[in-house]
Amino acid sequence: MITVSIIEDQREIRESLAEILDKSPGLRCVGAHASGEEGLRNIPGENPDVVLMDINLPGMNGIQCVARLKKLMPKTQVVMLTTYDDGDLIFDSLRAGANGYLLKNMPREELVQAVQQVQAGGAPMSLQVARKVINHFHGTKPASELEQLTSRELEILRLLAKGHMYKEIADHLAISMSTVRTHVTAVYEKLHVHSRTQAAMKLAERE
């Protein structure tokens, strides 16, 4: 029996995942949590074999939660389950200790197989995610700093340059403030800047 805990803030998705797991032979959901903070409090006591982790969570995001959970439970397999196939989020998740990365639109049969695969020592990834990982290692170096930005990072940079606050950007893009901060940090690192003004100036030089 493979035991699984879930961290997912949307109740309908959380309940659906738990139902899929409990109806699958050889799998059992031992806990379902609405936030990273709640998960960190309860999952050590549940001691699951596998954790399914959303990225866009209220408060602590999923990447931060993976890093903390892995320190507490290094042998537990963590699979990111998210709507984002953003390259930076994929690699940030893997660097934090995730063992797999799946997109939420995958069929339930593939989800069950992924749980079985990661417990067997594999690293399950959705096809789109696997392609991004391969392209990362096969690709050539971008010609400029701005070309290193993902489409979402460039979108956020343009909104920053127009003077929008983080909350306005989060509302406009229907993402969390935490996700906005994660993207902005990545933008600053890639552009080698330390402020909104410096980043906006680099954008203005090109556009």
Q: Per-residue pLDDT tens for 29-44?
A: 999 999 999 999 999 9
Q: Per-residue pLDDT tens for 142-183?
A: 446 787 888 899 999 999 988 899 999 999 999 999 999 999
Which amino acid does the sequence have at 27?
L
Backbone φ and ψ for 6, nearest 5 degrees, come out as -125, 140
Domain parsing of the chain, residue ranges: 2-136, 146-206
| Per-residue CA distances from 86 to 43, 62, 131, 155, 171 (Å) | 27, 14, 12, 13, 19
Q: Region 184-194: what's the mean pLDDT?
A: 88
pLDDT tier, 63 (very low <50, low <70, confident <90, very high otherwise): very high
| Per-residue model confidence (pLDDT) at position 143 | 45
Residue with tokens 């893997």: 94
Among 45-59, 79-93, 130-144, the range of highest mean pLDDT: 45-59
Q: What topology is assigned to 2-136 in CATH? A: Rossmann fold (3.40.50)
| Per-residue model confidence (pLDDT) at position 60 | 93
Among 5-19, 55-69, 140-154, the minimum mean pLDDT is found in 140-154
* DSSP codes, the chain: -EEEEEE-S-HHHHHHHHHHHHTSTTEEEEEEESSHHHHHHHHHHH--SEEEE-SS-SSS-HHHHHHHHHHH-TTSEEEEEES---HHHHHHHHHHT-SEEEETTS-HHHHHHHHHHHHTT---B-HHHHHHHHHHHHSPPPSSSGGGS-HHHHHHHHHHHTT--HHHHHHHHT--HHHHHHHHHHHHHHHT-SSHHHHHHHHHHH-
| CA-closest candidate to residue 186, choices 143, 159, 144, 156 | 156
| Per-residue model confidence (pLDDT) at position 140 | 46
Q: What topology is assigned to 146-206 in CATH? A: Arc Repressor Mutant, subunit A (1.10.10)
8 Å CB contact between 62 and 81: no
| Per-residue model confidence (pLDDT) at position 180 | 93
Higher-pLDDT residue of 160 and 132 is: 160
Tokens matching residue 180:
């906005």
Mean per-residue pLDDT of the chain: 89
pTM of the model: 0.66
pLDDT higher than 50, residue 141: no
| CA-closest candidate to residue 89, choices 141, 41, 53 | 53
| Per-residue model confidence (pLDDT) at position 106 | 83
Which amino acid does the sequence have at 60?
M
Higher-pLDDT residue of 62 and 138 is: 62
